Amino acid sequence: MHPDGTVATPDDTPQIVVVGSLNLDVTARATRMPDDGETVLGDDFTMLPGGKGGNQAVAAARQEVPTAIIGCIGSDSAADILYDAVRLEGCDTRFLTVVDGPSGIAHIEVDHNGDNRIIVVPLANEALTPAIVDHYADDIASATVLLCQLEVPLDTVRHALELANMHGVLAILNPAPARPLDDEILSLVDLLIPNETEAALLTGIDTSTRGGALAAARALLERTKGDVCITRGSAGSLLVSTGSDEVLETEVFPVDAIDATGAGDAFCGGLASAIARGLPRSEAYRYASACGALATTTHGAFPSLPRRRQVEALLGGAMVADAPDITVR
What are the C-alpha distances in Å from 125 to residues 103, 151, 271, 308? Answer: 7, 7, 24, 29
SS (H, E, C) 295-314: HCCCCCCHHHCCCHHHHHHH
Helix (H, G, I), strand (E, B) or coil at 5: coil
What are the C-alpha distances in Å from 270 to residues 129, 147, 152, 288, 291? Answer: 26, 11, 21, 5, 6
In the chain, % helix, strand, coil (3-state, to 5) comes to 35, 20, 45
Amino acid present at 118 = I
CA dist 22 and 72 (Å) reads 7
What angle, 0 to 180 degrees and rounded to 10, lies between the N-to-C axes of helices 210-221 and 196-203?
A: 60
Active-site residue identified among 4, 134, 265, 322? 265
265 is catalytic: yes
Radius of gyration in angstroms for the set of CA atoms belonging to the chain, rounded to a whole number:
18
By annotation, the residues acting in catalysis are 265
